[in-house]
Amino acid sequence: MINVFKYIWFSQCVFVFMYPASDVLRILAAESIELARSGHPGMPLGMADIATVLYHSFMRHNPNNPHWVNRDRFILSNGHGSMLQYAVLHLTGYDLSIDDLKSFRRLGSKTPGHPEYPEVPGVEATTGPLGQGLANAVGIALAQKHLGERFNRPGLPILDYFTYVFSGDGCLMEGISHEASSLAGQWSLGHLIMIWDDNGISIDGKTASWFSEDVCQRYLSYGWHVIDNVDGHDPIAIHQAVTQARLNLKQPTLIQCQTTIGFGSPNLAGCPSVHGKPLGASEMNQLRNQLNWTHEPFSIPSSIYDQWDAKAAGKIHNDAWLDLWSSYQSQYPEAAKQLELIWQGRLPDAYNNCVDHHRMSWLTQDRAMATRQASNQVIDALAQSIPQLIGGSADLTESNLTKVPYQIPFHETTPQGTYLHYGVREFAMFAIANGLSVSHMIPYVGTFLVFMDYGRNAMRMAAMMRLRVIFILTHDSIGLGEDGPSHQPVEHLAIARLTPNLNVWRPADLAETAAAWHHSLLRVDGPSAIVLSRQSVPPISHQESDGVAMTYGAYAVYGYQDSSVDCLILATGTEVSLAISVAQRLSQSNYTCRVVSVPCLEIFMQQPVHDRTELLSAAPCQVVIEAASQALWERCLNRIDLFFGIDDYGLSAPGPDVYEHFGLTEMNISTKIFDFLTEIETCV
């Protein structure tokens, strides 16, 4: 057994710290990985002592109420070490049984290969892609600071939780760690504590050849409080470091814990091979001997369960907070009601009143505008009525038009502000938004559609976690013009539409933009992307019923009165008005057309087959017009006779010239449809 007892002095009391408390984490993690024949034992073995100190001495949480709003948050950024977290959750009393640990990485288990939110009780975010957990933690800590500033009152700290994040060398190598950590320091997130598992090993071997910067100096330059050279296997040193970190509420803290990967494994400790492979039967037995662990696999003595059980302490923490909350409700009833609404994820009556007030003006808009301008109008109308809405942009506020005059920028001195200047940090912005969303906020974030690529993995994680995040993606096509092909998206709409559980809106005018915002704000089971134009588009003539029809994802904007037509044209965004002009020109040749605007293909494909078939009634010529690649339109049409879009990268020239180059003009499109219909008639 490694060091049977250690003594820690804290709060003027001495208590006995039994090292088997950490050994059980090592054993459970290694056994589960061994049974699964898959997993990453190195990190759980190496960080077991840190997790033990954190959960025994600092974490305020309630296994019987995992969603208690003032619980401390724990994020495992190096998510491959998930068995460490599962073992902790099991031992402390969360709804993870010993059988769940035995089912590690099995189909349908509650213990997947990397932590998953919200499937695993006690897991705060889906982590695995390295560095994103750190950025999620920044978002969670940001939410605590923002909401705490707005709602805490003297003597009533309703929201004062800490966010702890474990990060590995890989997390700190990823560029997102720079983006997110820089912002955390800029925002003075003093309730954020990151513990770095500094073991100097990654999959390819010793990291000294590819990761040799002075990380502590790097974090000092970000404005973090840094506690360096902590022995990650010495509980006294770990306890002292976390205690020191908690005393500094002006800065986020990095604790550099120097550890040995695979600690406790006689032959594999410190070796790269222990990172991602089961120990094997022989090494597993030697680990047991090294730790003097004599119990059968997955057999934990009741004395150890008693040592770890956090349910009683969690109830005390939770009950004390409920008393505080009761006093808060009595003294500040209006603020308490608003907080409850935020925690429940509901929008207030004031929001619905705003929508009702503006609905007809949105439908009857009679002047041309870019849809990014339309979006700004909607934000201006609605934002003040949504207490949990918080916006931002990656240094493109004046281009995305994501800020309205009454929004106060969030800053160290104005943490109540509801607008975030993220700087040029798209990836961190998307991942921080995910952290805000799991913290009951409704974040919207802005950048150019083409720069979605920088943050797409975090967008994917938002969709996977079913988070209410709204991505505002402007400059949506070749229409942005002179900036050229590096800034003109072509394949991005298809990529976004391929992302499961992401609703992609490309509105055509103010009314459709308002519908996109409304639907995205009401949606509670996943993210939405609202794709907007730089260039102005003419307004579309709407019926009053169109306000509802838009929310079905597609509706007829021209020729809806005809039961059968010669040509069916589907279009989105800036191409809808173009499609209407094409239909009007064809009508001069006695061809009837129906133009269907498809602001959200995903929602349209969720409608009953009968409704979709009725709207897209068969026509001799079926056409799609969209200034993007063709991919995925086959989902809703049984055939596409003519597609007018982009099959190559754009050009640097004024937008109208680029549209003409690619044949996206009224004359070219109507001529080709006319020729197609004429050929059909000739064949008949």
- Catalytically active residues, by annotation: 426
* Sole residue written with tokens 């920044």: 138
CA–CA separation, 115 and 267 (whole Å)? 28
d(CA 521, CA 527): 9
> Of the candidates 523, 664, 1, 577, which has an alpha carbon nearest to the alpha carbon of residue 288?
1
Please provide the DSSP assignment of 443-471 as one string: EEEEEEGGGHHHHHHHHHHHHHHT---EE
| Interatomic CA distance for residues 619 and 564, integer angstroms | 7
C-alpha distances in Å from residue 109, one per residue of 36, 63, 66, 613: 12, 19, 19, 40
Show the tokens assigned to 602. 């995903």
Positive or negative: CA dihedral 109, 114, 120, 126: negative
Distance from C-alpha of 142 to C-alpha of 392, rounded to nearest angstrom: 13
Cα angle 480, 485, 490; round to 5: 80
Of 434, 405, 401, 638, residue with least CA distance to 530: 401
Cα–Cα distance for residue pair 668/420, rounded to 1 Å = 44
Q: What value, to the nearest 5°, has the Cα angle with vertex 524 and ends 523 and 527?
A: 70
Q: Residue 569: helix, strand or coil by DSSP?
A: strand
DSSP bridge pairs for 205: 202
Q: What angle separates helix 20-36 from helix 82-92, to the nearest 10 degrees?
A: 120
Q: How many CB atoms lie within 10 A of CB 261?
A: 27
CA angle 628, 509, 672 (to 5 degrees): 45
